[in-house]
Amino acid sequence: MESFSTDPFIEDLAIAKIDLEESLQKLFPLEREIVLLFNQGYSTRETEEMINLPRATVQDTKDRAFKKLKRMMDGEVESIFK
């Protein structure tokens, strides 16, 4: 039987991806939508046009959502890059 050696870094990344997906689900729907749009490369202007909200609302919601994600993911992210 073949034995596979796994890279601990790859394992940590896989765990972080799962944790990020779980953390995204904890955001409010609007926060999650905005984070996903920014993650896909859309600008603030493009995002505001797509979801029909003022620029300030999009920016504030994005900032709040990323701060929440950072707090939720803080331990996992730090452990990966140590």
In this structure, the dihedral spanned by the alpha carbons of residues 36, 29, 52 and 39, taken in order and rounded to 10 degrees, is -10
Q: Which CATH class is domain 8-80?
A: mainly alpha
3 vs 53: which has the higher pLDDT: 53
**Confidence check: pLDDT of 80 > 90:** no
- The pLDDT of residue 77 is 46
pLDDT tier, 41 (very low <50, low <70, confident <90, very high otherwise): very high
**Confidence check: pLDDT of 22 > 50:** yes
- Three state DSSP letters for 22-62: HHHHHCCHHHHHHHHHHHCCCCHHHHHHHHCCCHHHHHHHH
70 vs 46: which has the higher pLDDT: 46
pLDDT tier, 59 (very low <50, low <70, confident <90, very high otherwise): very high
Assess contact for 20 and 69: CB atoms under 8 A.
Answer: yes
Q: In the chain, where are the structural domains located?
A: 8-80
**Confidence check: pLDDT of 5 > 70:** no
